[in-house]
Structure 1
Amino acid sequence: MKNSFLRRRIFEIRAGVKDLVWGIKNPESFKRKNTLSPIMGRFSSYKFELLSGIKSEDYLSDAFYFNQLEGKINNFELSDYFNHKGYLPSILQSNAIPLLINNIAGIVYDADDNIIDASLVAEKLRNDPVNDEFVIKRSVGTGGGESVEIGNAEKIIPFFNLYRKKKYDFVIQPLVKQHDKLAEFNPSSLNTVRIMTLAYDGEVHHVSSMVKMGGPGGRIDNVSAGGLCIGIKNDGSLTTFGFDCYLNKTTQHPQTQLEFPDNYEVPYFNEMVEVVKEKHQLFKSHGIISWDVSVDNNGYVTIVECNTAWSGLESHQAFHGPVFEQHMSYIKNINL
């Protein structure tokens, strides 16, 4: 019931209880107002005021965001297809990570989309003329870094056999080469830029962005897997603080001790935003998408994945305040 009506109602109840408990512990929140959720939204208004330092009535609660915005403008019957890493290169047409191996419905395809026997995969990986390390991941359901493994051929081959046995759809990809300045945050992980876009009335809008990085010694960038995120301002510079998955604030990476200076500029940030705004136009059934993007030293933008369902909002509001403030009229109209 991943995107079912029942799951969303259960989520709304749980989120409401969580917000109310937080509000009781923070009684000042009862004095706040909220434009979209006059009763329960007041807790989000105060919570994100404390985190971002920006007082506003235009914050979105989790329950409103997932059920009254994302739930209304995204077609979840298509989300698994759009999120499927085995189909993503065909959907995007460019700027996707190449697929070295693509296992769909038990059939193995090579980099040229030719069907090959599964027994040939080990030899292909061991004799790859370009790549020493690979990423193997399930094609759907890799939130928090679940079912994502990185390593040389000898490490990847057992997971290939395991995922085949479990009848997963999965892909094997080369490692993405990231820009040196992005690698500074945490050299052991691919540190991606999360960009949220909103499409309506024939335009695609950049809503909010942040950098995601792996935790100490981590190879993946997932915040829920021990990593951190840092806000990116509209000019490409960083906020001077970051958050972990519990919204604990920090001013430096725990492994590299790299501080988050406000004069740091994310390389090719505008170019990344323009690429995902262009690609969003291909997703006509989805009004809001969160993109994980990387860029190399030459400015080539790679879309690591797109998230069309259950993609979080909290960190964006914690960094930047009411990120949908300029779109309130549209949001109100779809909820009349």
Structure 2
Amino acid sequence: MDARKLLSKVTPSRAGAGEMVAGAPPVVAAQPDDRRAGARPPKDEHNAVRFLIRGHVQNVGFRDFVVRRANRLGVRGWVRNRSDGTVEVLAAADGEVDALLEACRLGPNAARVEHVDVHPTQETLPRRGFRKTRQYEVVEDAAAQRYHRLGIDPAGEAFGPLHHAGLLDTHSPSSVDAARAFWREHMAVDIDPALHIAYENLTGAADPRVLPPTQYRTIQRLFNADKQVKRAYVDKGLYPYLVRTDRQPLNYLRRINGKYFDADNDVVGEHEVLPMLSSRCQRAIIKPSRSANGIRVNLLEFDTDGRAVIHGKPRTLADIERLYGGDFLVQQVIEQHSLMARVHPSSVNTLRMLTIRLGKDIHHLLTFARFGADGRVNDNAGTGGVCVGVEADGSFLPEGFDEHASVLARHPTTDVAFADLEPVPRYSEYVEFVRALHADLLNYDLVSWDIAVGKDGGPFFVEHNFAGAMWIYQLATRRPVFGELTDEVLAHVQHLRDVKAAA
């Protein structure tokens, strides 16, 4: 079926081009902010199709699934999460859009699609390619007007959860003015004050040094290497060569460009892969080499017959290749300390630690623990995990925080009270551990580290990251990201800008 036939099967809305699906709530920010768009077509033409996908479709890799499928089919457009729990796709109404629709009706393995609303529309589309874009919010008109007056962007990175959690319901005009004045002085920008308002409502204290997400992205790009260099550093298969510590998981198997290699870099034939793994381990972690946010991180087990099992289902090597593609890892399961396992034993729970290089010195900025939930293997906030701030002495804050901006005194799965947790053992060793690791990353001055607490109480490297949800970092730890270093960091930002302008 071609795109014209698909469009002929859908009755357009009477309100005309650009309207959402009939019955959908009014929207703010109907277009992505980062558009790279072509010319808008005549108003009487439908040049695109909007899919609104309902069900369990967020935090399951749905957007990445759509991007991969659309780019494979050659469909132009974008996909984004909506704050009401749905996923929205806008696709050019030509070529293989019908095949993309069928793919959206199925979704990735972890998704559960209940319904897909299809609506022909007229929109400005990207000239080429298909991409993820930012979440946008569905809000009632009165709230939308209030947010607009405050300069809050309903398409902002953290707006959805902060709005729903009630952390934007009240604000102090003087605190907002102070935050705006601070960032005008230091970065010559007019900020979105949403995170400052939420921070004050959460902690009871205003702090203009809180770093807004947009300004974090600017700083992160200035401090860190370009995308070409990043390709090597984000490949988890290269960690043993880039991160000089024995305190990291052993890679039993790596698939690189479709070929298999064992821990000694010897090539393994396809028929030998599963027998080799079953002889080395009864259980292991399997994950993509180059993805982040806990996507497709699973437990790989071997039953008594030596069959590979993922999510309780026996899998052949062909099944695994279909799930993970040409590049993935099978690695050792870290034996974690009882302190961390107590909170959620199914996941390897880690400390997210942030470091920065300023001149000759590497500073530790903040730490929070990440605990998985609902029996998942990974601990990412984006898959339901809980973040709990860690103090300078290794003790935990009494309340956790999740990606929905919920404040939690107890773990949602195990009911463990965070206030009852003992401090991280030998915590000062963890700070020195990440500072030493950072010294080897010459291309990166602002780095997040995922560090496990080993069974012996010592630090264990899991992975490094060069971006992050900075709004969660600051709300989970109840502190501005740069703290007492803020003025020094922002002075260095201005220096980097001057150097870049003079180049």
TM-score of the aligned structures, taking structure 1 as reference length: 0.88
**One-letter code aligned to 1:141:** S
Whether the 8 Å contact between 2:355 and 2:448 is mirrored in structure 1 is yes
Whether the 8 Å contact between 1:36 and 1:60 is mirrored in structure 2 is no
Could you tell me which of 135, 139, 146 is aligned with 2:289?
A: 139
TM-superposition CA deviations, 1:103-126 (whole Å, max 9, x none): 111121101111221221110122
Could you tell me which of 470, 473, 486 is aligned with 1:313?
A: 470
1:255 partnered with 2:413: yes
User: 2: distance between equivalents of 1:13 and 1:253?
Assistant: 29
**One-letter code aligned to 1:134:** A
User: 2: distance between equivalents of 1:263 and 1:220?
Assistant: 20
| DSSP-derived class of the 2:364 partner | strand
**One-letter code aligned to 2:433:** V
Whether the 8 Å contact between 1:251 and 1:259 is mirrored in structure 2 is yes
Unaligned 5+ segments in structure 1 are none
What is the deviation of 1:254? 1.8
What is the deviation of 1:193? 0.7
What is the deviation of 1:159? 7.2
1:236 partnered with 2:394: yes
What is the deviation of 1:16? 3.9
User: Structure 1 pair 24/173, CA: closer, same or farther in 2 (3 Å)?
Assistant: closer
What is the deviation of 1:163? 5.0
Q: How does 1:156-305 map to 2 (within 5 A)?
A: 158=315, 160-165=317-322, 167-261=325-419, 264-305=422-463
Could you tell me which of 262, 268, 271 is aligned with 1:116?
A: 268
User: 2: distance between equivalents of 1:13 and 1:204?
Assistant: 37
Unaligned 5+ segments in structure 2 are 1-33, 37-77, 79-132, 138-151, 303-307, 498-503
Whether the 8 Å contact between 1:101 and 1:173 is mirrored in structure 2 is yes
| DSSP-derived class of the 1:198 partner | strand
What is the deviation of 1:11? 5.7
Could you say which residue in structure 2 is the equivalent of 1:148?
297
User: 2: distance between equivalents of 1:13 and 1:75?
Assistant: 29
| DSSP-derived class of the 1:152 partner | strand
User: 1: distance between equivalents of 2:384 and 2:240?
Assistant: 29
**One-letter code aligned to 1:151:** L
What is the deviation of 1:161? 3.1
TM-superposition CA deviations, 1:8-27 (whole Å, max 9, x none): xx769999444589699646
**One-letter code aligned to 2:442:** K
User: Structure 1 pair 114/104, CA: closer, same or farther in 2 (3 Å)?
Assistant: same
What is the deviation of 1:47? 1.4
TM-superposition CA deviations, 1:68-114 (whole Å, max 9, x none): x1111111322232121100111112122111001111121101111
- Stretch of structure 1 that moved more, 245-254 or 156-165: 156-165
| DSSP-derived class of the 1:329 partner | helix
Whether the 8 Å contact between 2:167 and 2:202 is mirrored in structure 1 is no
1:80 partnered with 2:80: no
TM-superposition CA deviations, 1:276-326 (whole Å, max 9, x none): 110111111111111111122323421111112x31212221122213132
**Percent of aligned pairs sharing the same letter:** 24
User: 1: distance between equivalents of 2:342 and 2:421?
Assistant: 15
- Stretch of structure 1 that moved more, 285-294 or 314-323: 314-323
Could you say which residue in structure 2 is the equivalent of 1:28?
171
User: Structure 1 pair 125/305, CA: closer, same or farther in 2 (3 Å)?
Assistant: same
What is the deviation of 1:137? 0.4
User: 1: distance between equivalents of 2:460 and 2:326?
Assistant: 25
Could you say which residue in structure 1 is the equivalent of 2:193?
42
Whether the 8 Å contact between 2:203 and 2:478 is mirrored in structure 1 is yes
What is the deviation of 1:5? 11
Could you say which residue in structure 1 is the equivalent of 2:241?
90
User: Structure 1 pair 158/284, CA: closer, same or farther in 2 (3 Å)?
Assistant: same
- Stretch of structure 1 that moved more, 234-243 or 152-161: 152-161
Whether the 8 Å contact between 1:105 and 1:167 is mirrored in structure 2 is no
Could you tell me which of 48, 55, 61 is aligned with 2:212?
A: 61
What is the deviation of 1:260? 1.2
